[in-house]
Amino acid sequence: MSALAGNYKRKKISFIKGKGSFLITADGKKYLDFVQGIAVNCLGHANQKLINAINKQSKKLWHISNAFIIPEGERLAKRLVERTFADSVIFQNSGAEATEAAIKVARRYFYSIGKSHKTRIICIKNSFHGRTIATIHASGSKKMTLGFGPKVPGFDHFEYGNHEKLKKLINKNTAAIMIETIMGEGGIKVIPNWCVKAIRELCNKKDILLILDEVQCGIGRSGKFFAFEHAKVKPDIVPIAKGIGGGFPIGAVLMTKKVAKAMIPGTHGSTFGGNPLAMAVGNAVLDQVNNKLLNNVNKLSKYFFSRLNNLKSDYPQIIKEVRGMGLLIGLQLHNDQTKFIEKLMDNKLLTIRAAENVVRILPPLNVKRNEIDLAVKIMTKVCKELKK
Ligand SMILES: *Cc1c(COP(=O)(O)O)cnc(C)c1O
């Protein structure tokens, strides 16, 4: 029996190494990995430049307190600022910490301008913002909050697409609207561009901050560096994590000058957040998430979607919808997806579930066309078997 607690229902398989889009078991079996640690290993497994960066930094300095200047972090923050809407960055270690910090920044901003009554955050019901006590309540999911004590106040929820409810929830105490630009765990639901724009305008009109959680859909996954760039809006606060570390735990909250001003000494901190080892890796990730990589995402996304839509036409009784953007892809089935995912795995293709019967497909951003062909071949075989 495992000494690990039972909070995961783990597949009975383990891997000893990986290379690019593939994972290898102890007995030499090779799996096409279209989970990639849930959109974390954006450059695949064992990326040589990331190996070099971590090796080099590991011989110099791993960790030092944020009480001192950390040049690698200064550099990564500057590069993120140059590349995005943001003027300022706070580094964390995970997505939940990043979204929680985003909530703190929003509240502290209104406090700092004498509007301390503005504390409430509006979120989408059954979204996903992490597993800390505050973020599970932000997610508004019964399943995630069940048994975890008193409800954390300060969060209001509307259902995805229910714009009337969203407008009704806004009052003088609202500080922010916090949504995932593309809902990941919630079933790969894209918030349409016109809708992201309308929410931005609503925020402007009502003196509310816009927090766009790009922990899963950010760092090139959507085909642009941030998914909200498709809608041409400028958010106020953006938590990131997953992709930015390429497999090393890094989180961050990006923000505009306006709100960053509230984060004076002592308002927030993290022992590990932004340490030299993490920052060296983050810089090496950013080196590679360039236009060439984004072109690969866009080109192969188009190809993958067209192949998947063909598969849907061939098996309409199994596949209900192909969803997503870039290389954040969901195959929504008519029925429960468990068996489908198991069969893909039996055929050496790894995928992962999301809500609403969705099979989530997350190749690395540097995936190759022939790897997509292999995935489609396996999916076709499984559809054929399940149709019988
Ligand atoms: C994964 C995820 C988180 C939480 O990240 P952790 O690193 O697991 O804490 C938060 N928001 C979104 C959108 C995510 O996909």
| The pLDDT of residue 388 | 80
pLDDT > 70: percent of the chain = 100
Indicate the DSSP class of residue 20: B
Cα 216 to ligand 1 centroid, rounded to whole Å: 7
Residue 366 has pLDDT above 90, yes or no: yes
Residue 271 has pLDDT above 90, yes or no: yes
> What is the distance between the alpha carbons of residues 106 and 11, in angstroms, rounded to a whole number?
39
What is the rounded average pLDDT of the residues 296-319? 98
Atom of ligand 1 nearest to the CA of 38: 1
The strand pair at 30-33 and 22-24 is best described as: antiparallel
Q: Give the mean pLDDT of the chain.
A: 98
Q: How many other CB atoms are there within 10 angstroms of residue 61's CB atom?
A: 14
| The pLDDT of residue 252 | 98
Cα 316 to ligand 1 centroid, rounded to whole Å: 32
Q: Is the CB of 216 under 6 A from ligand 1?
A: yes
Q: Using the structure block, give the residue that is written with the tokens 């001192």.
A: 68
Residue 131 burial by Cβ neighbours in a 10 Å radius (0-12, 13-18, 19+):
middle
Segment holding 279, helix H or strand E: helix 276-288
Q: Contact at 8 Å (CB) between 253 and 237?
A: yes
Residue type, 106: A
Q: Decide: helix, strand or coil at residue 237.
A: strand
Cα 114 to ligand 1 centroid, rounded to whole Å: 31
For the chain, the straight-line distance linking the first and the last C-alpha, in angstroms and rounded, comes to 37
| The pLDDT of residue 314 | 98
- Strand arrangement, sheet containing 155-158: 88-92, 251-255, 237-240, 209-213, 174-180, 120-124, 155-158
Residue 90 has pLDDT above 90, yes or no: yes
Q: Is the CB of 241 under 6 A from ligand 1?
A: yes
pLDDT digits (tens, 9 = 90+) for 205-240: 999 999 999 999 999 999 999 999 999 999 999 999
pLDDT > 90: percent of the chain = 99
Q: Is the CB of 70 under 6 A from ligand 1?
A: no
| The pLDDT of residue 153 | 97
4: CB partners within 8 A, 6+ apart: none
Cα-to-chain-centroid distance, residue 294: 17
Q: Which of 36, 20, 33, 34 is nearest to 361 (CA)?
A: 34
Q: Is the CB of 128 under 6 A from ligand 1?
A: yes
> What is the distance between the alpha carbons of residues 122 and 226, in angstroms, rounded to a whole number?
21
Q: What is the CA radius of gyration of the chain?
A: 21
Q: Is the CB of 99 under 6 A from ligand 1?
A: yes
- Structure confidence at residue 1 as a pLDDT band (50, 70, 90): confident
Q: Assign 3-class secondary structure to 150-177.
A: CCCCCEEEECCCCHHHHHHHCCCCEEEE
Q: Is the CB of 311 under 6 A from ligand 1?
A: no
Q: Contact at 8 Å (CB) between 93 and 277?
A: no
Q: Is the CB of 96 under 6 A from ligand 1?
A: yes
- Structure confidence at residue 294 as a pLDDT band (50, 70, 90): very high
Atom of ligand 1 nearest to the CA of 242: 7
- Ordered structural domains, the chain, with CATH: 49-288 (3.40.640.10)
What is the rounded average pLDDT of the residues 73-99? 98
Cα 55 to ligand 1 centroid, rounded to whole Å: 27
207 token code pair: 């003196």
Atom of ligand 1 nearest to the CA of 95: 5
- From 8, 35, 103, 129, give the residue whose CB has the most ligand 1 atoms within 8 Å, as the site to mutate: 129
The helices-and-strands tally (H runs, E runs) of the chain is 13, 17
| The pLDDT of residue 144 | 96
Residue type, 270: S
Give, using CA atoms, the residue closest to atom 15 of ligand 1.
216
Indicate the DSSP class of residue 3: S
Q: Categorise residue 119: left if φ over 0, alpha if ψ from -120 to 50, beta otherwise.
A: alpha
Q: Is the CB of 37 under 6 A from ligand 1?
A: no
- From 135, 216, 221, give the residue whose CB has the most ligand 1 atoms within 8 Å, as the site to mutate: 216
Q: Is the CB of 184 under 6 A from ligand 1?
A: yes
Q: Is the CB of 359 under 6 A from ligand 1?
A: no
- From 219, 242, 270, 360, give the residue whose CB has the most ligand 1 atoms within 8 Å, as the site to mutate: 242
